[in-house]
Structure 1
Amino acid sequence: MAVTAPGGVLAHIRSLLPSLLPTERAVAAVFLDRAGDVVEMSSQQVAEVAGASRATVVRTAQSLGFSGYQQLRVLLARDAGPAAVPHAAPDTPGAMVASTFAHVGASVPAMVALLDHVDVARVVDLLATAGRVLVVGNGLSAPLAVDAAARMVGIGRHAEAPLDVISQQVSARQLGAGDALLVISGSGANQSSVRAAEAARQSGATVVLVTAFGRSPLVAHADIALVVGMPDLTFRDELTLTSRVPQVILLEGLLAALTERLGAPAATAAALTLEVISANLAD
Structure 2
Amino acid sequence: MIDPQRSTPENLVARVRAVLPSLTPSAQIIARLILDDPATVARSTITELSAASATSEATIVRTARALGFSGYAQLRLALAAAAATTRQGPDRLVPGDLAPDDPLSDVIAKVTRAEAQALEDTAAQLSPELLGEVVGAITTARRIDVYGVAASGLVAQDMAQKLLRIGLSAHAFTDAHLALTSAVLLRPGDVAVGVSTTGETPDVVEPLRRAGKAGAATVAITNNPRSSLAEVCGHVLISAGRETAFRPGALASRISQLLIVDYVFVGVAQRTSEVSNEALRATRDALDHFVSDSRQRGRKAW
- Count of aligned pairs: 281
The Cα of 1:139 is off from its aligned counterpart by 3.0
Residues 30 and 49 in structure 1, CA contact (< 8 A), matched pair in contact too: no
Cα distance in 2 for partners of 1:236, 1:64 equals 28
Name 1:260's counterpart in structure 2: 270
1:20 corresponds to which of 7, 23, 29: 23
Residue 79, structure 1, aligned to residue 82, structure 2: yes
Cα distance in 2 for partners of 1:158, 1:128 equals 11
Residue 42, structure 1, aligned to residue 45, structure 2: yes
Residues 192 and 211 in structure 2, CA contact (< 8 A), matched pair in contact too: yes
Residues 115 and 252 in structure 2, CA contact (< 8 A), matched pair in contact too: no
Amino acid at match of 1:83: R
Q: 1:3 to 1:18 in 2, by over 3 A?
A: farther
Cα distance in 2 for partners of 1:19, 1:254 equals 26
Cα distance in 1 for partners of 2:139, 2:58 equals 49
Q: 1:160 to 1:241 in 2, by over 3 A?
A: same
Judge which range, 44-53 or 185-194, deviates more.
44-53
Q: 1:195 to 1:63 in 2, by over 3 A?
A: same
Name 2:180's counterpart in structure 1: 169
Cα distance in 1 for partners of 2:140, 2:61 equals 46
Amino acid at match of 2:269: T
Amino acid at match of 1:84: Q
Name 1:105's counterpart in structure 2: 116
Cα distance in 1 for partners of 2:142, 2:203 equals 24
1:144 corresponds to which of 145, 155, 178: 155
Alignment of 1:1-283 (within 5 A): 1-2=1-2, 4=4, 5-7=7-9, 8-80=11-83, 81-84=85-88, 91-230=102-241, 232=242, 234=244, 237=247, 239-278=249-288, 279-280=290-291
With the length of structure 2 as denominator, give the TM-score of the two structures.
0.83
Amino acid at match of 1:181: A
Deviations 1:63-114 (A, max 9, x none): 4332322221111112331421789x89432442244224433554422222
Pairwise CA RMSD of aligned residues?
2.5
Q: Which runs of 5+ in 2 are unaligned?
A: 296-302
Cα distance in 1 for partners of 2:18, 2:243 equals 16
Cα distance in 2 for partners of 1:175, 1:116 equals 27
With the length of structure 1 as denominator, give the TM-score of the two structures.
0.89
Cα distance in 2 for partners of 1:104, 1:142 equals 19
Q: 1:106 to 1:225 in 2, by over 3 A?
A: closer
Structure with bigger helix share is 2
Larger Rg: 2
Deviations 1:203-248 (A, max 9, x none): 1000011111111111111111111214x37477562232222111
Deviations 1:108-146 (A, max 9, x none): 442222211111111112111101110111232111001
Q: 1:107 to 1:211 in 2, by over 3 A?
A: closer
Query: Identity percentage over the alignment?
Result: 27
Cα distance in 1 for partners of 2:201, 2:243 equals 22
Deviations 1:139-161 (A, max 9, x none): 32111001111111112112111
